[in-house]
A and B are shown apart, each in its own frame.
Chain A
């Protein structure tokens, strides 16, 4: 196959778009793992709930895309916090495996309930009027909505990184993970912070869900299909590393895009091949600290 520079740059851009979803989702996972030490398998389910929340807001309450961008993550984040307070809290000190099994079970239940009512083909959600259409970049036709997704998720990712690594609140959070008892002694409400962190991680996933609703169908299984790839991204980037998961998310999107151009049949597996390679060479992930 001859390499066509125009087509190649188009594929790179498309890869970047998918990368934004990987980045947003793996960021939420990294935040949750870093602060709570929970491998949150329910992440795909809450991503799906975000998309459904946007759909319900539009079709039941007549609330459009822009408010949904804030309301849906809030609502789903709240759901996440309830989940943390009622269930995850009790296994916080146990082995990772318990958290993984609990969240996996929750994901199956949530997906099953949605599937029971909405089937598997999903529901349509239209692109907001302001972002309809596209522009001709010369080498490709870029739908405006996709451009918006890349820019918006990049901003959200960096803001989250800034919040955790560069603010006082973030410093408390990081301190609370290192030594909860000591931080408590300074009069800081650690359990509340943990609940809020879980809410933040879940909210990020729901935000990704809202962003994806106009591109993909709003389907009960949309998260289940994505979550495995996102876990591979997190493993490659290094569990718990915020910046690592952002960079890996975007990079893997691009690599996947290139695979779709050169050898489409392998595009579903390339991420896992990379994961195996990274695990063989650097088991803690590209940016992760050794455990």
Chain B
């Protein structure tokens, strides 16, 4: 009897060691890039994020160590239902390990829940809503590149400091827009500014003239554009047509990307100030990455903050997998290991990840150059101020993330 017990114990032990051996030897990973491949956010995220993900796979050095890494692509068309279907299929059928990018906050939040339910890894660079590391934070999620708090804090505070103390918002009518309006309102009122009105055009509006007229009539000193991508481009272009800036009101593009500035052209965009966490011409690391990226893009665009974020997040993910010696496919365990290790890459430099899943790095206040100041194509930004990593994002003690209360 005793012998039987010890034999079975031995068997069990052998089995366990065998399974952990299999564990250690599993050197496969499947990355899903989920974003808008052809709509209004396709230039900000889209195919460029896929290029960034592929570059991260190649630069990680894992392929040389015998890893097999696949990148799959999904087009969520900015629709939460489409996005959640793809995410579910990726986990259930295609056995995807990590979902990256996911712009459009309404989709980003839905996928956040699915990744948690399926115990995957979620590295979000595309969504803006700061809820991802606050009320809706998840142990499987790291919010990587930027968020609405950081945008609002950077641009909002700077505008109020320069005398822009009354605000009118043009807010895209969905999760991202309202989050950005809320966070900017907080930043502006904290500095003594006042909000005198807002209007909410639907997402993907072609003509903003009605809304701009309302903003003009409000006589607010600053018109805050709480929108993104094509919506921002159209509202800025049409604002210049209606003589809003000439009339003395200032425009605050709360979320601007380099592709937006490129599309507007410097004659229209010059003088705009906004906050970003990445610009291709910051240092040797960003320049090197961006030139390689540009060469691989069909439309020869420079990388946006989101696309650079996809690269940076995957580099850290691969480093973590490498350090763990294999892929356990256990999302929670991997994300915890990622949070525990400091980050260091050519995009954002050295950084850390907060327990609520917020990745920290510096943010920069930029101003768009005048046409005569630009030295060539894509030379668009002037650095006005650097906001250090510990001040750029929501302070931990103000984060509403339930994960923080347990510890």
List residues of chain A with CB under 8 Å of any chain B CB: 4, 6-7, 10-11, 14-15, 17-18, 115-124, 126-127, 133-134, 140-141, 143, 145-146, 215-217, 219, 221-222, 225-226, 257, 260-261, 264-265, 267-268
Contacts and interface: CB of A to CB of B under 8 A. Distances in A.
Given A120-B38, A123-B263, A225-B206, 8 more contacts: A115-B38, A120-B39, A140-B213, A141-B216, A215-B207, A217-B263, A226-B206, A264-B210
A118 B299 contact: yes
Contact of A121 (B211, B233, B247, B268): B233
A106 B334 CA distance: 47
14 contacts: A7-B217, A14-B207, A119-B42, A119-B43, A119-B299, A120-B38, A121-B43, A121-B260, A126-B267, A215-B241, A221-B39, A221-B40, A225-B206, A267-B201
Given A115-B38, A122-B230, A11 B206 contact: no
Contacts of A215: 207, 237-238, 241
A261 B210 contact: yes
B95 interface: no
Interface in B275-317: 298-299, 301
Nearest to A21: B207
Given A216-B206, A267-B201, A127 B259 contact: no
Contacts of A216: 206-207, 234, 237
A217 B205 CA distance: 12
A225 B214 CA distance: 24
A262 to B, nearest CB: 11
Contacts of B41: 120
A15 B378 CA distance: 36
Interface residues of B, number: 45
A211 B233 CA distance: 18
A216 B40 CA distance: 13
A265 B211 CA distance: 11
Interface in B15-64: 38-44, 46
B200 interface: yes
Contacts of A222: 206
Nearest to A18: B207
Interface of B: 38-44, 46, 173, 199-202, 204-207, 209-211, 213-214, 216-217, 229-230, 233-234, 237-238, 241-243, 247, 259-260, 262-265, 267-268, 298-299, 301
B233 A122 contact: yes
A146 B43 CA distance: 28
B301 A10 contact: no
A264 B227 CA distance: 15
A265 B267 contact: no
Given A120-B42, A217-B234, A267-B202, A143 B243 contact: yes
A72 to B, nearest CB: 20
Contacts, number: 116
A260 B247 contact: no
A141 B247 CA distance: 10
A219 to B, nearest CB: 7
B335 to A, nearest CB: 32
Contacts of B206: 216, 222, 225-226
B103 to A, nearest CB: 12
B39 A257 contact: no
A4 to B, nearest CB: 8
Contacts of A133: 243
Contacts of B265: 124
A121 B262 contact: yes
Contact of B202 (A15, A118, A143, A265): A265
B243 A121 contact: no
Nearest to A6: B217
Contacts of B205: 267-268
A11 B299 CA distance: 38
A39 to B, nearest CB: 23
A225 B46 CA distance: 19
B39 to A, nearest CB: 7
Contacts of A4: 217
A15 B199 CA distance: 17
Contacts of A115: 38, 42
A267 B172 CA distance: 13
B202 A116 contact: no
A260 B199 CA distance: 9
A17 B209 contact: yes
A149 B260 CA distance: 26
A226 B199 CA distance: 22
A118 B206 CA distance: 18
A118 B260 CA distance: 13
Contacts of B40: 120, 221
Q: Which of B43, B209, B243, B267 has the most CB of A within 10 A?
A: B209
Nearest to B298: A116
Given A116-B298, A221-B39, A14 B213 contact: yes
Contacts of B262: 121
B210 A117 contact: no
Nearest to B297: A119
Contacts of B207: 14, 18, 215-216
Contacts of B237: 124, 215-217
Given A14-B210, A225-B206, A268-B205, A124 B234 contact: no
A217 B206 CA distance: 9
A121 B259 contact: yes
Contact of A265 (B173, B229, B242, B263): B173
B309 to A, nearest CB: 18
A217 B240 CA distance: 13
A120 B298 CA distance: 13
A13 B267 CA distance: 27
A282 B265 CA distance: 47
A221 B243 CA distance: 27
Contacts of A117: 298-299
A121 B263 contact: yes
A264 B211 contact: yes
